[in-house]
Chains A and B, each alone.
Chain A
């Protein structure tokens, strides 16, 4: 199988921060690969380096065998890009937005017409093609951005937070489209996301990224089973809960002094009654117990020591995107 992307020991240093700190990964052709991590993890910087928008401090990047540092233009010819921010122009129509990009990729006129029609239909935008984009909803803008990035039939598609700031319906629509792209056209896709569910739904493989480093790479199912069991959440009025549970020999994923703890257990259904009895015997009143299969969030916790949502910075990113959208009106 051809390798679509080979990244070797990539580093990008800014004056104050090592945004990308020595990452390496390979994406085979036809795969959807996700970089999962909180904002500021270096995902967008990585995408921009692969797109030749930023030069790395050191390291190597090859896209379908082309050295991206030596031949940035050849990489751009075969890439499609949907940035995190709204990147369609509100002051022209949807059709014109695609037309300009088709022209920038140097398509001959007849082919251009045919392909624009194709992408408009593919993304369900043909009815609104001649409306001004500043009358579009967020989901439609996102679809138009996808249409723009697909018009040159990219072998390699880069999606930076494809569903950020979208409502659930629009988000599902984008997910379906992205899956269809891989299944029907075999497009290789690199996407970044901080959304566990998105990574789980769309990606064949995931790289968990935190503070410029790739903590682990694997299939979502493998990563989840590597957590090594199920997650048992337990809560009590008694603040000593976590300490007592540890004393009993359970391994905790998280614990807090307000009487809650998450335990990593094997064969959880059998563990619950025993645990409840042991805790009663030590005089601890239990408020609730629940058991769940590990999610990518737990994988993230295992490898980075923090939950992905804890930084709260992604909510800020959402707000930013919303502000930008308002500005385009």
Chain B
């Protein structure tokens, strides 16, 4: 199978997922509610008590990139459940009987999770603007953030699909999703800087891909200091690639 055909298979699977969203857009807006509450309730309160050192920036500025990333991973981390569900419905067998390779199907699905995240990200940025949170919005920073959001969705949805190939049912996936989500979010720089963490937690947070996603988004949207963007993007791309490969290998196991 040549590369062109492979990529077109990836995009067709993504198209399938996007067509579902187009028929039911409410799911996107409902998923914006929680991050919106983080900004308006948690963010507004914490910026009043000034408990968290955020340098030259307001707390709301600081946390907006964190909430952006959070809104994407909280959806992506449960993506494996969708895959297990589709297996139970018999949709996957049929997809795999087409010439599209399993890895193209996985990549298409994880890309769809990324694109889905994009809609949420746009809604959150609009909300941030309404709340008069000062963000750097240049064509370059917007394109950069979009790319990071898509990678973020791909990264965590393939992690979820890889987990689904081991856990193989919805209940366990629900459990593991809940279990991972909390440390993933709080052991990262999403809502407070690494500098206030105890040393052992810093080590964990530095190994957390979310920290790099948030750092990259933050440098583009808030600080404008792009010195660590290169290393951030490298870590994000490598992690995503590894997880997509793991998910592709695991995908057929979900079926048997």
Which residues of A approach B to under 8 Å, CB–CB? 48, 51, 53-54, 73, 76-77, 79, 81, 83-87, 89, 91-93, 96, 100-101, 103-106, 132, 148, 324, 327-328
Contacts and interface: CB of A to CB of B under 8 A. Distances in A.
A100 B99 contact: no
Given A104-B9, A105-B98, A91 B90 contact: no
B12 A100 contact: yes
A160 B91 CA distance: 14
A53 B102 CA distance: 10
Contacts of A86: 89-90
B119 to A, nearest CB: 16
A148 B96 CA distance: 14
Contact of B89 (A100, A101, A327): A327
Given A86-B90, A100-B15, A103-B12, A76 B97 contact: yes
B19 A92 contact: yes
A106 B99 contact: yes
B133 interface: no
B130 interface: no
Nearest to B24: A91
B97 A81 contact: yes
A85 B90 contact: yes
Contact of B98 (A76, A92, A93): A76
A104 B96 contact: no
B93 A101 contact: no
28 contacts: A51-B97, A53-B255, A73-B101, A79-B97, A81-B97, A84-B90, A86-B89, A86-B90, A89-B16, A89-B91, A91-B24, A92-B20, A93-B23, A96-B16, A96-B19, A100-B16, A101-B98, A103-B8, A103-B12, A104-B9, A104-B12, A104-B98, A105-B99, A132-B23, A324-B89, A324-B90, A327-B89, A328-B89
Interface in B118-147: none
Contacts of A87: 89-91, 93-94
Contacts of B97: 51, 53, 76, 79, 81, 83
Contacts of B96: 53
B1 interface: yes
A104 B100 contact: yes
Given A79-B97, A89-B16, A104-B99, A73 B91 contact: no
A132 B90 CA distance: 18
B100 A54 contact: no
Contacts of B91: 87, 89
A83 B20 contact: no
Contacts of A81: 93-94, 97
For chain B, which range describes its interface: under 10, 10 to 19, 20 to 34, or 35 or more residues? Answer: 20 to 34
Contacts of B95: 104
B147 to A, nearest CB: 25
Interface of B: 1, 5, 8-9, 12-13, 15-16, 19-20, 23-24, 88-91, 93-101, 255-256
A148 B16 CA distance: 14
Contacts of B15: 100, 103
Closest 6 CB pairs of A and B: A85-B90, A87-B94, A81-B97, A104-B98, A91-B20, A103-B12
A326 B193 CA distance: 48
Contacts of A54: 256
A50 B251 CA distance: 20
Nearest to A145: B94
A299 B166 CA distance: 43
A96 B19 CA distance: 8
Nearest to B22: A92
Contacts of B16: 89, 92, 96, 100
A84 B101 CA distance: 22
Given A73-B99, A327-B89, 5 more contacts: A53-B93, A54-B256, A83-B94, A86-B90, A327-B88
Contacts of A101: 98
B89 A106 contact: no
A93 B99 CA distance: 22
B98 to A, nearest CB: 4
A86 B90 CA distance: 6
B165 to A, nearest CB: 16
Contacts of A76: 97-99
Contacts of B101: 73
Contacts of B93: 48, 53, 81, 83, 85, 87
Contacts of A92: 16, 19-20, 23
A46 to B, nearest CB: 14
B5 A106 contact: yes
Contacts of B13: 104
- Report which residue of B1, B9, B19, B98 has the largest number of chain A beta carbons within 10 angstroms of its beta carbon: B98
Nearest to A86: B90
A132 B24 CA distance: 11
Nearest to A104: B98
Contacts of A51: 97
A48 B91 CA distance: 14
